[in-house]
Structure 1
Amino acid sequence: MTPEPHSVVPDPKSQVASAVGVSAPESQQVNRVGAIAADPLPFGTGDTPPETGVAAPLPSNNTSKTGTALAEALPPRRVLPTATPLPCSHPRPSEVFCFCLDCGQPMQVQQVMGRYQVIKTLFQGNTSITYLAWRDGRSLVIKTLNSDWVSHAEARTFLEQEAKILHQLRHPGLPRLIDFFWLEGRPYLVREMVYGQDLSQYISHQGVLSQSQAIAWMLQVCEVLHYLHQKVPSVLHQDIKPSNLIRRSTPHGNWEISLVGLKAASTLTESGTQIGLPAYTAPEQQEGHPIPASDLYSLGPTLVYLLTGQEPRVFL
């Protein structure tokens, strides 16, 4: 299975601009579930929040119990006009940077999704695709389903379930949900961007960790897992591995490590089985019966990698 990326990139000023300027039709509208983060994004300058209209129904193939619970858990949907792409107009074009060094605005806009300007594609997996996006001076991550899976009822339900879970989480070691909306029958999940290197990248560039540093970072991961597992019902991550542990460029308080990769739709396979990388996955999880202890099992192989720089399968 192709590992899902954490959608983490270095600072936007260091990114390669690979986008092309394509704007959405003015008539395009968004059927969205309102901004649902603890500190929702502000509306653009001179724009006021639209009036809340009649809640639009979920698509006909989205009437599962999970979808209904999500609709009840989140604010009513609102129909919003599509944003107008506003790429930077400074006379210093660049094929190296995604964002202008003078004003911080996007150098190019690939496409527009509702009020979000898509700068580039970060990753395209088996079932989902992840974008780097921009809105109101802030970089964000947008995740949606691939075209082959957008009409798949179970995949849509999984992405809704992921949004519902993220909506309930408030922890400095986890990225926060910013928004969840529907556009032309496709669901979109918007979350906080986490800047930094994942621990796989960190080990590749900096070398293996000392025992004390590795333990200190794993203890931070344990704190996050404790927070997830004490939820009722328990929230399981199911994909603990170095590439899903991010060392933030700027620590969030005392938290250096962020745990990303908490997802559902991206690990959906044709058979509906959800597993992580075999070398990092507990036996019961590989059999389709994950429990909280399964996440703790994955910390062992992760610690082996941090201390040796080698994949755990080498020692099996």
Structure 2
Amino acid sequence: MTTDIIDQGRNNRTAVGVACGVGAGALWGLVFLAPELARDFNPLQLTVGRYLAYGLIAGALLAPRWKAVTSRIGRGDWLNLFWLGLTGNTLYYILLSGAVQTGGIAMTSLVIGFLPVAVTIIGSRDHGAVPLRRLHLPLLLCIAGAVCIGWQALAAPAATSHVTRLIGFGCAVGALASWTFFAVSNARRLRQLEAVSAHDWNLLTGVVTGAQSLLLLPVALLIASGAQHEAGDWMRLAGVSVGVAVLASIVGNNLWNRMSRLLPLTLVGQMILFETLFALIYGFAWERRLPTVIEALAFLLVVLSVATCLRAHRAGPGVAHEGA
């Protein structure tokens, strides 16, 4: 009886965690569209605009409870927030925007699609994680899906030079490394920090990221001084920045942080696949076309990867570590 209650509680946590992961992926997929919506602005300007908006909104939401929230974190937590803001937001989005604008959404999605593999391999050593030997099938399906996702883009005639596409690929790899560090570090810290809610941790991250963007603002304005932008262009950038800040950074990050507290890191890694999946769906809508056979196959592989990973976690951490 007691065992059944424990299993039910674990399954409920997993279901809620997966739902939060899907929601975060749906909102995060929008960030791949932002560089296309404001293509006449460079990656630094897009990043500063988005995270200044994120920081201002987060600061406004925290203002009534600022002393109460900040009294529960120490100097080490502020340093941790600095690195999380830098790797998961500022640096990541500069690299991601550069990758989308020079290499395209599909190529960028291919590279970012390997995030689950990187996070799952690192997370397999965490306490309560399913050992890597039980995740071979989900990882293979994930890799196969990621390869299919980018096959069309790599095989299609290039609209830009090889050098430009190579720069885009390098930016995408850098974004992959940056966000892998963020995903692992953030999930581990959230499990250790019980005094601050997932929502408040996200808002604190936004305040720190906004401060980083404020320091980069003079550089972004200096670059903008040589470009010809009308008032309407700046309004469009502001609209895109606020929209992405609210949907992806405030709501999406909050869902992700809630998920990170509910799921083991090996399963957290698989949830990143939904960002890739939704990014492609939005990309198809932007291009006004249906997915090809290869892209449809990639969708199926992504779903199977997550489903088999969920199945591997049903036994629970105790069984998962047996013989490991």
Same fold (TM over 0.5): no
Larger RCO (CA under 8 A, 6+ residues apart): 2
Using the size of structure 2 for normalisation, the TM-score is 0.25
Using the size of structure 1 for normalisation, the TM-score is 0.25
More helix by share: 2
More strand by share: 1
